Each structure stands twice: as C-alpha cells, then as structure tokens.
Amino acid sequence: MARGKLKASKWARHSDLDYVEELVLYSTSQAGQPGPELANTRPILADAMDLESLNTLDVIISCQGGNYTQEIHAPLRDMGWQGYWLDAASTLRMDNSSTIVLDPLNQSRIKQNLVKGQRDFIGGNCTVSLMLMALHGLFKANLVEWITAMTYQAISGGGAQQMRELLIQMGEIHEQASPLLRSRESSILDIDSRIDEYLNSGALTTSTIGHPLANNLLPWIDIDLNNGTGREEWKGYAETNKILGREDNPVPIESTCVRVGTFRCHSQAFTIALSQDVGIDELAEIMGQANRWVKVIPNNRQDTLQSLTPAAVSGSMDIAVGRIRKTDFNSKMMTVFTVGDQLLWGAAEPLRRMLRILSERHEFEDD
C-alpha cells in the first residue's frame, strides 16, 4: 500500500513518481522492515494500521482488499482526514459518495465529482472494467440495447495465494499422471480415470481456492446472493451502469461468471442486442477506434488463435477484441469475444491513471 503527498507544482511526465513529493509505503504485515528503494520514498515500511500516520498525507492508495478498507476508511474520515482514498475493493464502490474510475470512459464524470469535492475514487470490478474497455465504442455510439456476458476469469482475480495454489494443483495432478504418461502401454483412459479419481478424492490441495481448478472450471465467482446469482454477476450490471452514469436508465446486462485455470487474463464472450442494424465492418471500426488500447483481431482462425488468447495478451495493456459476428437469426444481434489483463486494466491501471488525474486537478478545477 502506498500513499503520497502530491506536488502542487507542474511535474515532468516521465513516471508516476515524478509528481509525488513523498511516497510512504505501508504494510499490514511487514511494518518496520526495509521497503523497495524508490525515489522520494522512506526506506522503512510504515504500519498500515497507524491512523495518526495515515491522517497526514494527501492520497492513500490501498491494494489491500475490502477488509482493510472496511477497517480503516471510516475511522480515518471520522478523524477528519480530507485526503483522496483510492482502492480497487468493492467496499465503497456503490456508495453515493464514491466514483468508480475508468477514465477512458468516464473522465468527465470523475472530474465533475472531483470539482464537487468527492474524495473516494474506486477502481471497478476487473471484469466490468475489461468489458467496458472492450465495448467502449458500442456504448459511445449508443448501440447497446442489452448484453449477456459469459466470462472466463483467470485465477489472478482470486489473488496471489490462489495463483500459487493453481500451480500446485497442476503439479500434483501431473505427479499422479506421470508414471502412466511415461509408460507406452498405458491408455489415455487409464490416465483420465486416474486424474478423475484424484480430483474427486479430496487429496488435491484446495485450501485456498476451495475446489479443484486445475483440470476443472468453477461456474460461480464471489458470494451467493441467494437469488440464483453470484455477486460478480450482479456487479456486471450495477457497476457498469454506475460507471456509465446510467443508474436512471440502466443497460440490462446478464452474466454467467466462470473461473477457469488461466493465470492472469480475463476473457469474456458477449451477445449484444444492438439498437440499429449496423454492418459488421462498421462495428469493427467503431470498436477499434474507441480508445487506443482496443485491438481488433480479424475474425479468422489463425489470427484468433494467435492473438485473441490470454497467452497473447498477458502482461500487455491491449484489450483484444475479436470474433465480431452478427447472429444468423437476428441481424441486430452480434457476438464478441475479448481478452484483457485483469492485473493491469482490470486492477492497477485505472488507479494509476486516477493518481495522474489528481495531480492535474489544479488545471481543470480552475476552468
């Protein structure tokens, strides 16, 4: 977790730290230990539970998750802290006093709310941010009547420990299959039943993810809202409409959210009802020109398998968008597949960009 004092003066645009006067790195578990060596940064990690200390600076960026926000945010505000709180947790996202930040889509709303004096700016759910980046052009052109989303979410959405456990599960499964794999006499059915038995035996390490994910998928993400829907699916509707400022005229969005055994990219398949019958080439152009991160992948087998995959997109800022088609049964319905890095646009990037907007606030507040 980091927080900093912003320089009110102009800043060079080389790095995000250029406009931070002082950066203090906090930890909930390693306070007192040496931190990374960064410019303008105190060498020792501070205690993230120390409200007096947190009360002194301009901006807090928390990467700790919702429990930390729950524990710290309200007491800090009660002490009179007037700084900007930035996090990517769901705790404050739907509060009226917070803005969900995804500035390629809602920069004017962010700036309006800053001018109004709002101080909580929260990154959206990763799946929502990646969907909106991908479908930006369709929303801009007012083409979306409703959406269904089928998601294929990487384990990075569950955090670092779950990423480790997925690899452990893969290793354990391989260990089980390994003697049979090496034997020329073994049949694939023997291998299959050995793995199947092992997955269902309870012996696989599942202490963090809770279930086998390697060689499996999990069609439920986040808590059960007890109405047939998971909270991840509800977020797809609620957060999207808040980001778009369409709370009074919401776009209907239905999702089925699925955890798959990929490492760090979330993929999604959409069926979209369009408000107009727009040609396929025009749709691709509208989507591709919406922002500089969308990369339209031609809808053929070779380009798709080469460029529209988690392996191709992982670690990049690209939002790959492909399989753009009209349905045979209704020319006002289209399908799209997208892949984006959930740790970048899905988590860190909207906050990094919000810090930059904060550093520029004197420019637009004077307008």
Active site (catalytic) residues: 126, 266
User: Quick count: other Cβ atoms within 10 Å of Cβ 143?
Assistant: 20
- Quick one: angle between helices 103-115 and 126-140, nearest 10? 100
Which has the closest alpha carbon to 264: 153, 140, 145?
153
Binding mask 104-143 for ligand HSE (x = CB under 6 A): ---------------------xx-----------------
Which stretches does DSSP call E strand in the chain? 2-6, 20-27, 46-47, 59-62, 84-87, 98-101, 120-123, 144-152, 253-256, 265-274, 294-296, 319-326, 333-341
Binding mask 136-175 for ligand HSE (x = CB under 6 A): -----------------x---xx-----------------
> Contact 295/318 with Cβ under 8 angstroms?
yes
Task: Give min distance, CB of 196 to ligand HSE, in A.
Answer: 26
Task: Give min distance, CB of 26 to ligand HSE, in A.
Answer: 22
Q: Closer to ligand HSE at the Cβ: 310 or 346? A: 346
Task: Give min distance, CB of 98 to ligand HSE, in A.
Answer: 15
Q: Closer to ligand HSE at the Cβ: 58 or 87? A: 87
Buried b (16+ CB within 10 A) or exposed e, 233-244: bbbbbbbbbbbb
Residues from 238 through 267 that contact ligand HSE (CB under 6 A): none
Nearest-angstrom CA–CA distance, 106 and 244: 7
Q: CB nearest ligand HSE: which residue?
A: 157
What is the size of the binding site for ligand HSE (CB under 6 A)?
Answer: 9
Residues from 222 through 241 that contact ligand HSE (CB under 6 A): 222, 232
Q: Closer to ligand HSE at the Cβ: 71 or 222? A: 222
Residues from 313 through 342 that contact ligand HSE (CB under 6 A): none
Running DSSP on this structure, what letter comes out for residue 157? Answer: G
Q: Closer to ligand HSE at the Cβ: 120 or 232? A: 232
